[in-house]
Amino acid sequence: MSTETIEDRLEQYGKTLEGVLATAVALDGEPAQLTDRRHQRSRRTPRLVAAAVSVVLVGLVMWAWSGDSGSVGTTIDPTATTASPVDDLASPAVDLAASATCLDRLDELRDNMASGDLANSPFVPDPHLRDATPVTIVDPERAAVTHVIIVGDTMAAVCVVPAGSNDVEWLSIAEPGEQPAATKIDLWGLRTAQMTSPAGPMSIHGYGRVGSDVVSVDLVVGKHRNEAVIEAGWFVVEAIQPAQSGNVLKASLEYSAKGQAIETIRLPEPIEQLPQPDAPSDPRDAAAASQALKEAVACLEAEGNTIHESYLDTDTGTPTISMSTTNTDTRAMGQLADLCSTRHSVNIDIGYLSE
């Protein structure tokens, strides 16, 4: 029987990986030579072309929303005669320099739009996008990055338009017909967010993380929570601020829709009503999980282990114990973990104090 552990094999494999990296460096030159970007640029040409295609396609999508050559984003009522979104959003209530840059970019995209076949575009797999409503989130801390969230009645899509760049990227597209349509997206600034559209056309909820603090973003497009009705338009989240506790978004929404004047809507505590992602939604489950945690911790401590923390897994709601130990007998620790996991239905993750 081989006495080589997985850890040993991984360590050896690391040398292979280092060799690959060393070879790549030898071929490319010094790793820190960033200035020789002309070579990189030549290699990047195909992707730049692809990015340009993306820009055109996004422009086409924007054009499809607008219904005419009017302003992007005022799309539900094609007869609307609103001013440009940039003008609409130039409210003194918020600093919209970043969003203006973004909208300039989108305006430019629209102006650059050309003929194309949306139906065959890999970027726009569902014609429902043509009826979608764009939502723009401006991260005030990273103003150079803008997120555009597009939600249709059967799908949700996300693309990123970094201000000052032609680099348009689609981040995530939920499959058409998903009920509820849900997808995890990875946003700059927002980090991760989950979007669902279970309640009908153009209704989404998102929550994500900014920095290390959990916040929630509740974007309401259509009739939904708290009877807030926002029919269409650009939405700029004024501030995404980590809450003092819990998952609370302190935000106001600026919007323009159907030619209405700019209004500021402050949703009356909409977020607190959302299920907390860190806790099971069913109170009975929460009680059971808490009890399981207590029992498992007691079990492990009785075995002489030191428990550093116990918590509910944020992904699954499963009670989880994080334990550190200097015991390197992985088999014994694995058996202990399995035993406690079976007995208490608790995940036990063991960190070794090797670092």
Partner 1 sequence: MVEVYEGVDDTMARPFEGWVVEARPRLERAFLARYGVEIAGELTAEVMAWAWEHRGELEAMSNPVGYLYRVGQSKARRLVRWRASTIALPPEQVADSGSPEFEPGLEVALVKLSDDQRTAVILVHCFGWTQPGVAELLDIELHTVRNRVHRGLAALRRELGADI
The C-alpha torsion from 47 through 49 and 55 to 57, rounded to 10°, is -100
Pick from 7, 111, 269, 301: which binds partner 1 (CB under 8 A)? 7
CB of 50: closest distance to partner 1 in angstroms? 6
- Using CB under 8 A, which residues numbered 257 to 296 contact partner 1? none
Strands 347-352, 319-325: pairing is: parallel
Token pair 């009890």: residue = 291
Question: Binding marks (x or -) toward partner 1, 94..133, rule CB under 8 A?
Answer: ----------------------------------------
Binding mask 60-89 for partner 1 (x = CB under 8 A): ------------------------------
- Choose the binding region for partner 1 from 4-12, 111-119, 236-244, 257-265 (rule: CB under 8 A): 4-12
> CB neighbours of 92 closer than 8 A, spacing ≥ 6?
none
Least distance from partner 1 to the Cβ atom of residue 313, Å: 8
Neighbouring residues of 157: CB distance < 8 A, sequence distance ≥ 6? 129, 132, 149, 150, 151, 170, 172, 173, 174
Task: DSSP for 125-176, please give it.
Answer: --GGGGG-EEEEEE-GGGTT-EEEEEE-SS-EEEEE--TT----EEEEEPPT
Nearest residue (CB) to partner 1, 118 versus 350: 350
- In the shown chain, the binding pattern of residues 133 to 162 toward partner 1, with x for contact by CB under 8 A and - for none, equals ---------x-x---------------x--
Q: How far is the CB of 290 from partner 1 (least distance, A)?
A: 18
Q: Using CB under 8 A, which of 42, 46, 273, 342 touches partner 1?
A: 46
Run of H or E including 254: strand 253-255
* Residue whose pair of structure tokens reads 């601020």 in the numeric block: 241
Question: 23 or 226: whose CB is closer to partner 1?
Answer: 23
What values do phi and psi take at 166, rounded to 5?
A: -95, 10
Tokens of 67: 């219904």
Q: Check residue 44 for interaction with partner 1 (CB under 8 A).
A: yes
Contacts of 91 (CB under 8 A, 6+ apart): 254, 262, 264
* 130, 331, 339, 344: which one binds partner 1 (CB under 8 A): 331
Q: How far is CA 170 from CA 107, 130, 149, 220, 278, in A?
A: 18, 16, 10, 22, 28
Instruction: Spell out, one character per residue from 202 to 241, where the chain touches partner 1: x when CB under 8 A holds, - when not.
Output: ----------x-----------------------------
- The DSSP line for 279-339 is S-SSHHHHHHHHHHHHHHHHHHHHTT--EEEEEE-TTT--EEEEEEE----HHHHHHHHHH
User: From the CB of 18, what's the least distance to partner 1, in Å?
Assistant: 8
Site string (184-203) toward partner 1, x via CB under 8 A: --x-x--x------------
Cβ-based neighbour number of residue 63 at 10 Å? 20
**CB of 138: closest distance to partner 1 in angstroms?**
15
Sheet holding 347-352, edge to edge: 307-312, 319-325, 347-352
CB of 60 to partner 1, least distance (A): 19
Site for partner 1 in 13-42 (CB under 8 A): 13-14, 16-18, 20-21, 24, 28, 31-35, 37, 40
Which helix (H) or strand (E) segment holds residue 194: the answer is: strand 191-196
Among the listed residues 45, 50, 282, 287, the single contact to partner 1 using CB under 8 A: 50
- The residues binding partner 1 (CB under 8 A) are 1-7, 9-14, 16-18, 20-21, 24, 28, 31-35, 37, 40, 43-44, 46-47, 50-51, 142, 144, 160, 169-171, 186, 188, 191, 212, 309, 311, 320, 322, 324, 330-331, 334, 349-351, 355
